[in-house]
Structure 1
Amino acid sequence: MHDLSRLSLNQKTTDPWNLREAVEGCVRAGIPFIGLWREKVAEQGLQESARIVRDSGLRVSSLCRGGWFAGSSARERQERLDDNRRAIEEAATLGTEVLVLVCGPAADGDLVAARAYVEECIEKLIPDAEQHGIRLGIEPLHPMYAGDRSVIVSLQQANQIASRLNHKQVGVVIDAYHIWWEPDIYAQIAAAGERILGFHVCDWLVPTPDMLNGRGMMGDGVIELRRLRTAVEQAGYTGPIEVEIFNQQLWSMPGDEILQLMCERYLEHV
């Protein structure tokens, strides 16, 4: 069976490509979805990006990223909230329903306060998200990123925030790279249920060559990808499956070869 109907290219997987190149590559490869990054959209221009995607017939699975809430001053914190509001508007213009939130590190090292502040900021964004029809997907990151990228480091934490806020515009994004290690991951996936707004896949290489840019192509590592996919589906998620791989070696390959390999490995391992 060669069913690519749920497959999405996250732009980071073909990072050297601009938005137009990524869209055209997806069309050639028969990939129906694309996950966009804000900096790639900004390079092309928001309206032009929306037109390119619309004319191609692709659908946008998500926009990455919002979040990064903490700031060292009140002014900086307000600027970051305002930027998240712009991100919500951009997501709506691009035709996706999901803005991925990478919540950011603690500004002063106080993890408890930082996590409370993340929840406070997401709550403040709910009216904007509701107005534009955008769902805010809290993406927990692996604990190795707690110091520089996110104080939300488990699906359990993301679930707890979404549960407390208890609003249809707030959910979670499950990235296999970040959550595969959690001892109770299958219970947490089941608990997330209808709040699951996205599912991202790649693989965990052993040894890991680089903390940020050392993700592997599916099948090259140790993650039980098919088991995770089955659990996510049993919890109720049947939306796009994004392949998101940060890997310098992969980026040195021609983009069309990356997509060919991605499709083959998706069918074999996901």
Structure 2
Amino acid sequence: MSNLQRLSINSETIKQWSLEELVAGCVDAGVPGIAPWREPVATYGLAKAARLIHNAGLTVTSLCRGGFYTAREPAERKQALDDNRRAIDEAAELNSPVLVLVSGGLDDRDLKGARGRVADALAELAPYAGERRVTLAIEPLHPMFCSDRCVVSTLKQAFDLAEPFPKEQVGVVVDTYHCWWEPDLDDQIARLGAAGRIALFQVADWITPLPEGVLLGRGQLGDGHVPLRDIRHQVDASGYQGPVEVEIFNADLRKRNGAEVLAEVIRRYRDHLV
């Protein structure tokens, strides 16, 4: 057995590759899953991308991304909701069970109000997603991204937002890069798992010092401080048996040969997660 049967490669990890190159590279390496972002899918063409991935025998583990629900202005909110409906339709076309959501940041100082608008957007979109058999997966981001990118910062906050909806409609992403620091991580993973709310497990490492461009500062597996295998064991023990999706935003990785990066990811996955 190759022990890669749960591995999925997020397209941002090897962003220098086109969608076609990512599909071919994963097939050649024996990686069964991919997680494309919407931009490369749109560049390639949605229907064409769906055929490409299906014909290659790969599984789409998630589509990134929806969200950005926190704008106050009605026209901006409508635009965001319309775009999220398109994203749900795209996920359904790709046979992706999950649409990853990044909630959006602040355009003022009203953090409580922004989080309330996230809940309002979920109430509007969850039934639409459910009809298309797509789970909206709330991804809490590390608090350093709260002001500009994501007002949902902890697994508990994400669970509380998801709980009013059927688990088939709204779940939570457990991303090691964003949640490893949480003081009650074990309890929150167990709580999510018991409720069937872990929609996706993503992995990357936390390195210090942080690079100047923080957004592109995720570490290669094993290069940082995150107890990757321990967290994977916790997630598995909670009942999750889905894919392990490698999503690494890293400027240096994007400068390298894509095949070399993929081979390194596979080695590190075996060394630090299997």
TM-score range, shorter chain: over 0.9
Q: Which runs of 4+ in 1 moved over 6 A?
A: none
Judge conservation of contact 2:167–2:197 (CA < 8 Å) in 1. Answer: no
Q: 1:48 corresponds to which letter in structure 2? A: K
Judge conservation of contact 1:2–1:267 (CA < 8 Å) in 2. Answer: no
Q: 2:234 corresponds to which letter in structure 1? A: A
Judge conservation of contact 1:4–1:31 (CA < 8 Å) in 2. Answer: yes
Distance 2:15 2:72 in 1: 30
Q: TM-score if structure 2 supplies the norm length?
A: 0.96
1:227-256 residue CA offsets vs partner (Å, 9 max, x unmatched): 100010111111110100011111111110
Distance 1:127 1:161 in 2: 15
Partner of 2:248: 245
Partner of 1:154: 154
SS across alignment from 1:164 = coil
Q: What does residue range 102-181 of structure 1 map to in structure 2 within 5 Å?
A: 102-181=102-181
Unaligned runs of 5+ in 1: none
Unaligned runs of 5+ in 2: none
Residue 211 of structure 2 is aligned to residue 212 of structure 1: no
Partner of 1:265: 268
Partner of 1:189: 189
Q: What does residue range 10-89 of structure 1 map to in structure 2 within 5 Å?
A: 10-89=10-89
Judge conservation of contact 1:72–1:108 (CA < 8 Å) in 2. Answer: no
Aligned pairs, number? 270
Q: 1:53 corresponds to which letter in structure 2? A: I
Instruction: Quote the offset at 1:160 in angstroms.
Output: 1.1
Deviates more, 1:70-79 or 1:256-265: 70-79
1:73-93 residue CA offsets vs partner (Å, 9 max, x unmatched): 211100100110110000000
Identity %: 49
Deviates more, 1:156-165 or 1:213-222: 156-165
Distance 1:28 1:165 in 2: 40
Distance 2:97 2:168 in 1: 12
Residue 200 of structure 2 is aligned to residue 198 of structure 1: yes
Residue 230 of structure 2 is aligned to residue 235 of structure 1: no
1:171-223 residue CA offsets vs partner (Å, 9 max, x unmatched): 10111000000000110000111110100111111212131101111111010
Distance 1:142 1:159 in 2: 15
SS across alignment from 1:212 = helix
Instruction: Quote the offset at 1:72 in angstroms.
Output: 4.4
Instruction: Quote the offset at 1:126 in angstroms.
Output: 1.3
Deviates more, 1:207-216 or 1:183-192: 207-216
Q: TM-score if structure 1 supplies the norm length?
A: 0.98
SS across alignment from 1:221 = coil
Instruction: Quote the offset at 1:108 in angstroms.
Output: 2.2
Instruction: Quote the offset at 1:3 in angstroms.
Output: 0.2
After superposition, the CA RMSD in angstroms is 1.1
Instruction: Quote the offset at 1:166 in angstroms.
Output: 4.7
Q: 1:83 corresponds to which letter in structure 2? A: D
